Amino acid sequence: MNRTVISIISLMAFLSAFPQAASIKVGYDYVMNLDGQLRKDDYILLSGQQQSMFFNPTALQMDITSKDDAARQAYGAMAARLMEAGRGDEVPNRAVSMYVFKDFEKQSKTVYDDFSDQFAVYDEPFDQMKWDIIEDSTKTVLGYECVKAVADYHGRDWTVWFAPEIPINDGPWKFAGLPGLILLATDSTGLHSFVANGLESSGAKIPGMPRADWYHKEDRIKYLQARYKYLQDPLADIAGGNLPPNAKVFVNGQQTTRDELRRRFLKILDAGYDFLETDYHDK
């Protein structure tokens, strides 16, 4: 057992009386592979004895900043300067803004997710994810010998690799329930994957959801159905649905039209894109 794992185990024991403290911090690349075109986004998992938080660090910082008037004004001025310089794509944004909280005592997950101006929060129990462990199949990830496990979860077949040497019942996104930290997860289509890029012991406080006031309770299936409808025509509800096809709009600092934006999204859907969960199609 290496020093990192020893320190993690020791810190976990020391922090067991502090439910808001993490014992480990893990960085993950969330990779989407669409027809060979890769998109990579950063996520962090802060995991402790009783709870964990999975989040994008840029979204977290922006959500914290949104509560401070001076910080909001500074962000607005910076964004305006970049857009005037034709560098709108460099403006930090909340394009990757999903949060997943796990409560290991209650065996439940709470997910905060949003698109456009729709902000939804929903809960689900751990037992919706059932694993089959393939003990004779191993892979080395970040120097740790990992064991294979598979699950059919909310419409996708997932293969993950967990490290028994790191005795933490957690992983990226909604993954949990295995006797070791999940370091790699890939769906059977190859479209979605989570890949650990580093880990360290941590006594950091788990910050919690900074803008819970933005979100309303929603059914998971209904939320995903509404999000898919949005992808089919992102501006359908603007101006009462009467926005002209050639109307100019700005998206992430870039000028486009309703028709151009719709064609862009439909091209992605036609190439096979779908969400991490696909069971909403069956409802």
**19-23, 162-166, 212-216, 238-242: least confidently modelled range:** 238-242
Strand partners, 138: 147
Q: How many helices (H) and strands (E) does the chain have?
A: 5, 14
pLDDT tens digits along 160-211: 999 999 999 999 999 999 999 999 999 999 999 999 999 999 999 999 999 9
260 pLDDT band, cuts 50/70/90, is confident
| Residue 14: per-residue pLDDT | 44
| Residue 235: per-residue pLDDT | 66
11 pLDDT band, cuts 50/70/90, is very low
CA–CA distance from 155 to each of 100, 189, 206, 257 (Å)?
A: 19, 12, 30, 34
Whether pLDDT at 89 is above 90: no
pLDDT tens digits along 235-257: 666 544 555 656 665 555 556 66
Contacts of 206 (CB under 8 A, 6+ apart): 20, 21, 22, 46, 48, 51, 52, 53
| Residue 251: per-residue pLDDT | 55
| Residue 17: per-residue pLDDT | 40
Per DSSP, the residues of 152-189 read EETTEEEEEEEETTS-----STT---SSSEEEEEEETT
| Residue 222: per-residue pLDDT | 96
